[in-house]
Amino acid sequence: MSSDATTGQEGGYRKGPILLRGEQVPLTTSDERLLSTSESADWLHGDPWRVLRIQSEFVEGFGALAELGPAISVFGSARTSRDHWDYRAAEEIGRRLVDSGYAVITGGGPGVMEAANRGASLAGGTSVGLGIELPFEQGMNEYVNLGVHFRYFFARKTMFVKYASGFVVLPGGFGTLDELFEALTLVQTRKVGAFPIVLVDSAYWGGLLDWLRTSLVERGTIKASDVDLFTVVDDPEQAVEFLLSARDAANGLE
């Protein structure tokens, strides 16, 4: 990666709480260095200190979000343009969630994340962005009013789950799929309790559902009931209504 490859929306490169520009931009990310293998014993001297840095990310994240209140994590592509239906849908979802008493949590970047943060912010709610150190496609969008930057994906992913009462997943790429299946795994293995997950746009997710029902269920790698761990809808109103119904059911109101 060249020194000017990561400009983000802040005109710089985020490395945890540090902002870097120009020749100060590193050639590798913190995650890449953490996961790299080495034939020498240099890791013995560096990794114990890295553990303290990882610990600080959890402490900072917990401290920033501990008083957040009910919240929903919204996921989707960072590459979605502002004139796309997905962007408009995410913005409406953000607004409807705030109107329903929720804060909105996203990855803090552009595209669908920006849209959900925008809807939440313009509705007068708490709009959370959990940023990540990346060599591209990142930078905290202007609609975040509570932002936390992370070096490590796993620390950030913990915050998405710990402080959310449910997930809304709009069309996205590998990162979105990673977050979706992380949540599904936690629910399937009962690492978390009742945790509503709603996918928006049946045309986009239809192929994935067919694959789950055929390749996975038929081979016996998942149960048929595992496909019912999430719901697919086609518009923002349905997505939020599903979350509210799940909340009412959890509170014994249905």
Model pLDDT, residue 177: 97
Average pLDDT over residues 188-195: 86
What does the DSSP assignment read for 70-107?
Answer: SEEEEE--TT--TTSHHHHHHHHHHHHHHHTT-EEEE-
Q: Does residue 135 have a pLDDT over 80? A: no
Model pLDDT, residue 214: 94
CATH architecture of 61-250: 3-Layer(aba) Sandwich (3.40)
Model pLDDT, residue 232: 97
Tell which residue, 174, 131, 172, 128, has the closest CA to residue 153.
131
Model pLDDT, residue 242: 96
pLDDT tens string 33-71: 666 665 455 555 566 777 888 898 999 999 999 999 999
Average pLDDT over residues 80-95: 98
Average pLDDT over residues 185-203: 92
Average pLDDT over residues 172-190: 94
Task: State the DSSP code for 168.
Answer: E
Residues 220 and 138: beta-carbon distance below 8 Å: no
Model pLDDT, residue 194: 76
122 phi and psi, to 5 degrees? -70, -20
- Where residue 251 falls (left for φ over 0; alpha for ψ -120 to 50; beta otherwise) is alpha
- Where residue 160 falls (left for φ over 0; alpha for ψ -120 to 50; beta otherwise) is alpha
Domain coordinates in residue numbering, the chain? 61-250
Structure confidence at residue 3 as a pLDDT band (50, 70, 90): very low
- Where residue 146 falls (left for φ over 0; alpha for ψ -120 to 50; beta otherwise) is beta
CA–CA separation, 114 vs 117, rounded Å? 5
pLDDT tens string 200-229: 999 999 999 999 999 999 999 999 999 999
Model pLDDT, residue 4: 29
Tell which residue, 149, 82, 71, has the closest CA to residue 110.
82
CA–CA separation, 118 vs 127, rounded Å? 8
Average pLDDT over residues 167-195: 93
More confident residue, 180 or 46: 180
| CB-CB neighbours of 133 under 10 Å | 23
Model pLDDT, residue 75: 98
Residues for the chain: how many in total? 254
Q: Does residue 9 have a pLDDT over 60? A: no
CA–CA separation, 199 vs 206, rounded Å? 10
